[in-house]
Amino acid sequence: MARFPRSALTALVLCGGLLGPVASPARGEVCAVDDTDREVCLAAPARRIAALSPGATELVYAAGAGERVVAVVAYSDYPPEAREVASVGSHTRVDLERLVALRPELVIGWVTGNPAEQLERIEALGVPVFYIEPRSFEGVASAIERLARLAGTRVAGDAEAERFRQGMAALAERYAEAAPVPVFYQVWDEPLMTINDDHLIGQVLNLCGGVNVFGDLERLVPRLDEEAVLAADPEAILAGGMGEENRDWLTHWERYPELTAVDRDNLFFVPPSLIQRPTPRLLEGSRLFCEKLDRARERRGEQGS
Amino acid sequence: MIPMIRPLGALALAALAALALSVALGSVTLPPEEILAALGGRGEALSRTLILELRLPRSLAAFAVGGLLAVAGALMQVLLRNPLADPYVLGLSGGASVGALLAMLAGFGSVLVSGSAFVGALVSTLLVFGLAHGHGGWTPARLLLTGVVVAAGWGAVITLMLAVSPAQRLPGMLYWLMGDLSHAGTPWPLLALLLLVCLLVVPLGRSLNVLARGPLQAAALGVAVRRLEWTLYLAASLLTAAAVTGAGSIGFVGLVVPHMLRLVLGNDQRLILPACALAGGTLLLLADTLARTLIAPEQLPVGVITALLGVPTFLFLLYRGQ
């Protein structure tokens, strides 16, 4: 295969990035294993970080390295400071030119969200890519710790990871014996989509003592028809929506008064950004989830009396 | 030969101008002297990366893909004697898309996606070739029908795959289906193929001119019609497969560039085919430059721009023509 001629200096940078740490283990060297099980090593903690998904941006800020973020992608709206950072396009299509021009020392990629060929290209240009995609509560905590290690902000990062871990553990303990509540969680309306038990949101449901009525389905994000929901007859329906306050998806269900969830008014809105991103805000979202399910349990008593 | 030099020279100049524009423009603004220095291998490391690693390979790949598609389209139009023919009419892009989407679903990297697309394109080519051959004689009409039905089958498979794919993989798949040059790798094989094909088809030009008037006349004039038609089919398929592998299925270039050139230059294949290589390349080069700069840092799919540029130009030429 013909290759495009590289300038000598880029080649030098490339070799430096790959071989440098091996040849002479610098004192500031930091390493971490990413979510594709590759070890990423940097000669020194990264001072310029590009986060290629809104979730990655949140995690880097949570790791205490917010000031080192030099590039984000569209919809990176949390924490609010992230809105001020230069954007390099969307997570599905990154503007490589703009990204390279910002001279990142570390790129945080999203395993299934970013185009593989673009991440490969970034690595070929000599910028290390750390792939993340947390699929469990522990995955979120450890992602924060690993990012903190690469950014040299372990004190702040480890503390935040610990806060998250303990918060989730406290919820788990509190709801370990809670009465089960059959729940339908709506991810999207057209097509109607939910999640199964393997999904992070499904794990939150189980944590709060909810029973996902579609938890056994094969696919991570199954598509359904309304009939399936009517047949499953959940006791509570939880939904996000378009935007942080839009309850339209829930009012849609009110046309079916025979649904237990509608009958008992157990239609709950949960802001999607609190629950759909694998970040420390998931703790807040989980607390909200658990409160809603508690309310559903209280209404059982009201019905009986 | 003399009357051909002027239009081809003008098109070559336009292509060079488009190449210069495409290298000069990007979402990062570089001063002209910095660009020249980078092209000469000097200047800052960053601008050399931007120019030599990102912009120039992509621009050359855009030119090559556009040229391949336009030549393939022109060959298909001669072969099928149908003005609506384009490189994808016989289901080739469908086969390539199914291959690429399968590789994406399996989570493979870009090399395997391209390889799988190429295999899909070849499978589709052989399928149509074998089926159109069938029992009894074959005609371009039979080839066209076979191809169109195979294409419809691929279309259904693609829709099915999109419907069952995990949500986070959809954007990547849709971008591939819309055609996109950001994953075009090294441009040299595509450019070499384009050059080779131009050199090979020009000697065939006279036979093609005769064939365009009808197979009976061609046969009467001593052209081995059947063999020429299969050569055309395989050549056009190979070119399309290479283009689709490089950049996904970019529509419109292969259909409209040959027609545009015929309206302006007349229907001499010896002139039209090399002109297609130059004009198709130029159109896609300009479209890709716009696609990556118009709303930067967001990137548009290049197929949108080829149509938005090509449709008014074509309609104007058609309206003005006799």
- Asked whether the predicted pLDDT for residue A175 surpasses 70, the reply is yes
To the nearest whole Å, the CA of B184 is away from the closest chain A CA by 9
Cα separation, B86 vs A165, in Å, equals 58
What rounded mean pLDDT belongs to chain A? Answer: 87
Instruction: Tell me the pLDDT band of A100, cut-offs 50, 70 and 90.
Output: very high
Least confident of A255-259, B121-125, B150-154, B305-309: B305-309
Contact yes or no for A10 and B53 at CB 8 A: yes
Whether residue B48 and residue A101 make contact (CB cut-off 8 A), yes or no, is no
Interface probe for A, chosen from B182, B190, B193, B302 (most Cβ of A below 10 Å), is B182
d(CA B297, CA A100): 12
Q: Do B56 and A5 form a contact (C-beta atoms < 8 A)?
A: no
Q: CA-CA distance, B158 to B316, in Å (whole number)? A: 35
Report the residue of chain A nearest B105, measured CA to CA: A112
Answer whether A125 touches B (CB < 8 Å). Answer: yes
Flag whether residue A9 sits within 8 Å of chain B, measured between CB atoms. Answer: yes
A11-164 CATH: 3.40.50.1980
Cα B30 to Cα A5, A11, A48, A89, B37, distances in angstroms: 21, 22, 22, 19, 11
Please answer whether residues B180 and A91 qualify as being in contact, where contact means their C-beta atoms are separated by less than 8 angstroms: no
pLDDT for the residue numbered A181: 95
Place A2 in a pLDDT band, splitting at 50, 70 and 90.
very low
Q: Give the pLDDT mean for A225-248.
A: 85
pLDDT in the model for residue B1: 53
| Sequence-ordered list of residues with C-beta below 8 angstroms from that of A299, at least 6 positions apart, any chain | A264, A265, A266
In terms of DSSP H, where are the helices of B248-301?
Answer: 253-265, 269-293
What domain count does chain B have? 1
- Out of A23-27, A226-230, B244-248, the most confident range is A226-230
* Predicted pLDDT at B322: 61
pLDDT interval class at A224 (50, 70, 90): confident
Cα angle B82-B87-B93, degrees, rounded to a multiple of 5: 135
CA distance A239 to A157: 31
Q: Contact at 8 Å (CB) between B34 and B26? A: no
Inform me whether the C-beta atom of residue A2 falls under 8 Å from chain B C-beta atoms: yes
Task: Find how far residue B142's CA is from the centre of its chain.
Answer: 24
Q: Where are chain A's structural domains?
A: 11-164, 178-304
**Which of residues B20 and A248 earns the better pLDDT score?**
B20
pLDDT, tens digit (0-9, with 9 covering 90-100), for B43-90: 888 888 888 888 899 999 999 999 999 999 999 888 888 888 888 888
CB B62 within 8 A of CB B284: yes
pLDDT of residue B285: 94
pLDDT above 70 for A13: no
Q: Which of B168, B176, B180, B293 to mutate to test the interface with A (most CBs of A within 10 A)?
A: B168
Contact A2 B189 (CB under 8 A): yes
- In sequence order, what DSSP letters do the residues of A133-167 get, joined into one string? ---SHHHHHHHHHHHHHHHT-HHHHHHHHHHHHHH
Choose among B170, B146, B160, B258: nearest CA to B212. Answer: B258
Q: Is 60 exceeded by the pLDDT of residue B189?
A: yes
**CATH superfamily, domain at A178-304:** Nitrogenase molybdenum iron protein domain (3.40.50.1980)
Supply the pLDDT for residue B211.
Answer: 86
Helix B110-133 vs helix A116-124: crossing angle, to nearest 10: 130
Instruction: For residue A12, name the pLDDT band (cuts at 50, 70, 90).
Output: very low
Residue A173 has pLDDT above 80, yes or no: yes
Residues A114-148 pLDDT 10s: 888 889 889 999 999 999 999 999 999 999 999 99
| Neighboring chain B residues of A9 at a CB cutoff of 8 Å | 45, 48
Q: Which of A87, A95, A193 sits opposite B299 (nearest CB)?
A: A95
- pLDDT of B137 reads 67
**A14-24: pLDDT as tens digits:** 443 444 344 44
Q: Considering Cα of A272, then A273, then A274, then A279, what sign does the dihedral take?
A: positive
A118 contact B CB<8A: yes
* Whole-number pLDDT of residue A73: 94
Q: What pLDDT is recorded for position A7?
A: 43
* Among the partner residues B49, B182, B189, nearest to A118 by beta-carbon distance: B182
Non-local (6+) Cβ contacts of A224 within 8 A are A191, A192, A193, A194, A214
Q: Which tens digit of pLDDT belongs to each residue from B246-272?
A: 888 888 899 889 988 988 888 888 899
Mean predicted confidence (pLDDT) in A79-97 = 91
Residue A108 pairs in a beta bridge with A51, A130
Instruction: Collect all residues of chain A within an 8 Å Cβ-Cβ radius of residue B187.
Output: 4
SS (HEC) of B78-109: HHHCCCCCCCCCCCHHHHHHHHHHHHHHCCCC
DSSP per position, A254-273: TT-TTSHHHHTT-EEE--HH
Indicate the range of A199-203, B44-48, B109-113, B202-206 predicted with least confidence: B109-113
Please compute the mean of the pLDDT values over residues B180-188 and round it to a whole number: 80
**Does the beta-carbon distance from A221 to B166 stay under 8 Å?**
yes
Q: Does residue A287 carry a pLDDT above 90?
A: yes
Predicted TM-score (pTM) of the model is: 0.80
- How far apart are the C-alpha atoms of B19 and B13, rounded to whole Å? 10
Q: What is the pLDDT of residues A28-67, one digit of tens each?
A: 799 999 999 999 999 999 999 999 999 999 999 999 999 9
Question: Is pLDDT above 60 for A199?
Answer: yes
Please provide the size of chain A in residues: 305
Contact call for A88 and B297, based on CB within 8 A: yes
Q: Measure the CA–CA gap between A263 and A236, rounded to whole angstroms.
A: 10
Q: Could you tell me the CATH number of the domain that includes residue B253? A: 1.10.3470.10
Identical fold, A11-164 and A178-304 = yes
- Who among A74, A98, A120 is closest to B110 (CB)? A120
pLDDT at B18: 95
- Tokens encoding A92: 């599905």
Structural domain harbouring B178: 2-320
Predicted pLDDT of residue A21? 41
- Determine, for residues B110 and A87 on separate chains, whether the beta-carbon distance falls below 8 Å: no
Query: Under an 8 A CB cutoff, do A100 and B49 touch?
Result: yes
| 3-state SS class at B142 | helix
Residue B108 pLDDT greater than 80, yes or no: no
Q: Which residues of A237-259 are buried (b: 16+ CB within 10 A; e: fewer)?
A: bbbbbeeeeeeebbebbeeeeeb
- Close Cβ partners of A85 (under 8 Å, ≥ 6 residues apart): A57, A69, A70, A71, A72, A76
Is A10 in Cβ contact with B298 (below 8 Å)? no
